Chains A and B, each alone.
Chain A
């Protein structure tokens, strides 16, 4: 070796020349011999003590991944999880609402008694506190039921089976089969779903998975769907059927979301993100006995509290803003009502109303709180009702007080399903794609779809003379 210092470029050049002395497939050959070595070593180390006659795992897999029974079983499981959530959350939500609104009344009374200025009392109790109370009572119970159920299926090993069942559909849409895994994660949290797309190798297919992840409702948005389904859709049926109808409606909305995932993936892979679906191998891991404490910890602490805390951070200022808007009086109206009136024509065009759009705008940082925000606006605009926490109370407030119809409820469900990702998800999309363009595209696609779909359903309903 000479005594001159070696430069990195010298090494690269040397490697270049040395490469030419090797056969072109030298790496393949090495990999091959590595694999055969691994095979030999494994054979020596592993002994089959007893041949199992049949494997329970395989028997179950034959059922849950069969082309005939696979999809129905998936739907049934989804239905069970949502039914559990709907029927459990309903009771719990009312109980929590009663307690929290009771505390609010007590606090307000106390403040009045000690002679606090009306605007402090109003700002704190009718603004900030009420915003928090609504979010907790609407969101906590469904999450506390849905998350453990979802985590249970995840720990059991069911998610890869879902991917297996849906693979052919994604392939038809020109997307990656693993997108069903990231889609499933989206039910928990869309931001998490976007991060999970890292398992997809091809940048094109990964981008499709990122841009369409928002079409499955995340856990923040489930409570909205559940509340609307329970209060409105199911209200038209006998009480005994309420929970089943409500669950069915939510499942229907979820399926619409999945359908939009496929549709949008298909559109993207035929237009801006052209290409063929790539092949991949997917392991079906053995079913594992879920660890109950781990499930409860993950689902309640990591997921439920995390999502709820995030929602509360937006709900408190949102409550404050609404109270301020409702208490800036201009003539015999107030600012909140004026903005809502101004937005109303556009809202009605979409089968919604001005208040819903105002609530949606205020809640943009965490738009899963659009329903609690909306309730605040309705109430803040001067409509107090008895026991607003109960289904009947909400129904009365919205239908008799504010002219809601079945169309309003259905379109709000569709709007909540399709509208733009929350701020956290948008930021995550930017971080994962390192591109403002794709982050913006994700907003435009979803918002455009939401407006278009609600406009179509509203026009159709008006045309048919249903509303």
Chain B
């Protein structure tokens, strides 16, 4: 796997030839792709959500504003995306209900790409969640939000360094003023299409641990062929996560994966008919 440095430059942001963004509000009946918005509380997920969908999801400056998930749509370069705004979470391991909503969606909703919105002024704490999301899925893009606040605080964030270290694209944005939004969307599109191949940094663990994971992964893949996050599931099983155990026993996991693959086929057919991609 290689990381192709195909991040568009910031000038593309203002070039109308480069993009076409159409806010689609609630019109999400016929979407092609699903994108999830994850992130720590109060990093501006709902603000970004509103900027992309044209919806007026309630925003407020306090952690915990969004406790359910909101859905909206946008169209970018001819592809229709369903955008899912998740409750803010500090981790994906916790028990509170808002955090469970977020985790279940990333895991079982299997979005085509997950944007982790981070607070540029508190990057270290935010990266903990980024890395946990990266354990679940390869298709991650980091949006470094609140760049304006970071600047005011005298901080400079090097998106390239971050991107290199994490092995996934990192795009600086200021959701409130729509800065960097188009670059972000182009990057998301490239990650989904495979134009950008991510190589997420993962904590290796001890040799015994690696061996245990290696043994479990093929078994999980055997029961749910094509499952994109067998490694994460294996780790959760080793950890004794009851939610994951249940999904496995009830066959929910296999069903979800099958449904996902079906959508994949339909999408490629649509794209070939319309001559895009």
Please tell me if the beta carbons of B238 and A22 are within 8 angstroms of each other in the complex: yes
Please tell me if the beta carbons of B237 and A198 are within 8 angstroms of each other in the complex: no
Please tell me if the beta carbons of B154 and A18 are within 8 angstroms of each other in the complex: no
A279 to chain B: closest CB distance in Å? 14
Q: Which of B42-66 contact A (CB under 8 A)?
A: 42, 56, 58-64
The distance in angstroms between the C-alpha atoms of A156 and B157, with both chains bound, is 25
Question: Looking across the interface, which residue of chain A has its beta carbon closest to that of B150?
Answer: A46
A329 to chain B: closest CB distance in Å? 50
Q: A46-B158, A50-B154, A199-B98 are in contact. Are A155 and B222 (CB under 8 A)?
A: no
Question: Which residues does chain A contribute within 8 Å of B154, judged by CB atoms?
Answer: 48-52
The distance in angstroms between the C-alpha atoms of A294 and B130, with both chains bound, is 29
For residue B3, CB closer than 8 A to chain A, the reply is no
Q: Which of A150-192 contact B (CB under 8 A)?
A: 151, 154-157, 159-160, 178, 181
Please tell me if the beta carbons of A199 and B67 are within 8 angstroms of each other in the complex: yes
For residue B39, CB closer than 8 A to chain A, the reply is no
The distance in angstroms between the C-alpha atoms of A159 and B68, with both chains bound, is 20
- Which residue of A8, A156, A282, A288 has the most chain B CB atoms within 10 A of its CB atom? A8
Please tell me if the beta carbons of B208 and A37 are within 8 angstroms of each other in the complex: no
For residue A23, CB closer than 8 A to chain B, the reply is yes
Question: Looking across the interface, which residue of chain A has its beta carbon closest to that of B94?
Answer: A201
Question: Which residues does chain B contribute within 8 Å of A386, judged by CB atoms?
Answer: none
Question: Which residues does chain A contribute within 8 Å of B132, judged by CB atoms?
Answer: 34
For residue B258, CB closer than 8 A to chain A, the reply is no
The 8 A CB mask of B83-114 against A (1 = contact, 0 = none) is 00001000000111110000000000000000
Please tell me if the beta carbons of B62 and A159 are within 8 angstroms of each other in the complex: yes
Q: Which of A14-48 contact B (CB under 8 A)?
A: 14-15, 18-19, 21-23, 26-27, 29-30, 33-35, 37-48
Interchain CB contact (< 8 A) of B60 among A5, A46, A48, A159? A159
Please tell me if the beta carbons of B63 and A282 are within 8 angstroms of each other in the complex: yes
Question: Range of interface residues on chain A?
Answer: 35 or more
Please tell me if the beta carbons of A39 and B212 are within 8 angstroms of each other in the complex: no
Please tell me if the beta carbons of B215 and A6 are within 8 angstroms of each other in the complex: no
For residue A332, CB closer than 8 A to chain B, the reply is no
Q: Which of A409-429 contact B (CB under 8 A)?
A: none
Please tell me if the beta carbons of A298 and B58 are within 8 angstroms of each other in the complex: yes
Please tell me if the beta carbons of A41 and B212 are within 8 angstroms of each other in the complex: no
Question: Which residues does chain B contribute within 8 Å of A68, judged by CB atoms?
Answer: none
Please tell me if the beta carbons of A46 and B249 are within 8 angstroms of each other in the complex: no
The distance in angstroms between the C-alpha atoms of A195 and B65, with both chains bound, is 10
The distance in angstroms between the C-alpha atoms of A291 and B178, with both chains bound, is 14
Q: Which of B149-187 contact A (CB under 8 A)?
A: 149, 153-159, 161-162, 165-166, 176
Q: Which of B208-224 contact A (CB under 8 A)?
A: 208-209, 211-212, 215-216, 218-220, 222-223
Please tell me if the beta carbons of A22 and B61 are within 8 angstroms of each other in the complex: no
Please tell me if the beta carbons of B121 and A286 are within 8 angstroms of each other in the complex: yes
Question: Range of interface residues on chain B?
Answer: 35 or more
For residue B239, CB closer than 8 A to chain A, the reply is yes
Q: A49-B155, A155-B60 are in contact. Are A198 and B124 (CB under 8 A)?
A: no
The distance in angstroms between the C-alpha atoms of A12 and B73, with both chains bound, is 39
Interchain CB contact (< 8 A) of B219 among A10, A154, A283? A10
Please tell me if the beta carbons of B209 and A38 are within 8 angstroms of each other in the complex: no
Please tell me if the beta carbons of A155 and B61 are within 8 angstroms of each other in the complex: yes
Please tell me if the beta carbons of A42 and B124 are within 8 angstroms of each other in the complex: yes
Question: Which residues does chain B contribute within 8 Å of A37, judged by CB atoms?
Answer: 131, 201, 203
The distance in angstroms between the C-alpha atoms of A200 and B94, with both chains bound, is 12
Question: Looking across the interface, which residue of chain A has its beta carbon closest to that of B95?
Answer: A201
A199 to chain B: closest CB distance in Å? 4
Please tell me if the beta carbons of B124 and A39 are within 8 angstroms of each other in the complex: yes
- Which residue of A26, A38, A302 has the most chain B CB atoms within 10 A of its CB atom? A38
Interface of A is mostly: helix
- Which residue of A41, A49, A195 has the most chain B CB atoms within 10 A of its CB atom? A41
For residue B194, CB closer than 8 A to chain A, the reply is no
The distance in angstroms between the C-alpha atoms of A151 and B249, with both chains bound, is 46
The distance in angstroms between the C-alpha atoms of A291 and B46, with both chains bound, is 14
For residue B24, CB closer than 8 A to chain A, the reply is no
Please tell me if the beta carbons of B61 and A154 are within 8 angstroms of each other in the complex: yes
For residue A196, CB closer than 8 A to chain B, the reply is yes
For residue B123, CB closer than 8 A to chain A, the reply is yes
Q: A23-B206, A47-B155 are in contact. Are A291 and B176 (CB under 8 A)?
A: yes
For residue A1, CB closer than 8 A to chain B, the reply is yes
Question: Looking across the interface, which residue of chain B has its beta carbon closest to that of A198?
Answer: B67
The distance in angstroms between the C-alpha atoms of A12 and B240, with both chains bound, is 9
Interchain CB contact (< 8 A) of B128 among A23, A35, A298? A35
Question: Which residues does chain A contribute within 8 Å of B211, judged by CB atoms?
Answer: 21
The 8 A CB mask of B233-253 against A (1 = contact, 0 = none) is 011011110000100110100
Q: Which of A111-167 contact B (CB under 8 A)?
A: 151, 154-157, 159-160
Which residues of B come within 8 Å of A, CB atoms?
41-42, 56, 58-64, 67-68, 87, 94-98, 120-121, 123-125, 127-128, 130-132, 149, 153-159, 161-162, 165-166, 176, 201, 203, 205-206, 208-209, 211-212, 215-216, 218-220, 222-223, 234-235, 237-240, 245, 248-249, 251
Which 10 A-B residue pairs are closest in the complex by CB-CB distance? Answer: A42-B124, A157-B61, A199-B64, A38-B127, A201-B96, A15-B237, A18-B212, A198-B67, A50-B154, A45-B162
Interface CB pairs A-B, < 8 A, 16? A7-B223, A8-B251, A11-B216, A22-B206, A27-B239, A29-B205, A34-B131, A45-B123, A45-B162, A151-B60, A196-B67, A198-B87, A199-B96, A282-B63, A285-B63, A287-B61
Give 13 new A-B contacts, CB below 8 A, not counting A14-B215, A15-B240, A44-B161: A7-B223, A8-B223, A9-B249, A21-B208, A21-B211, A23-B206, A29-B205, A45-B158, A46-B155, A52-B154, A159-B62, A196-B64, A285-B62
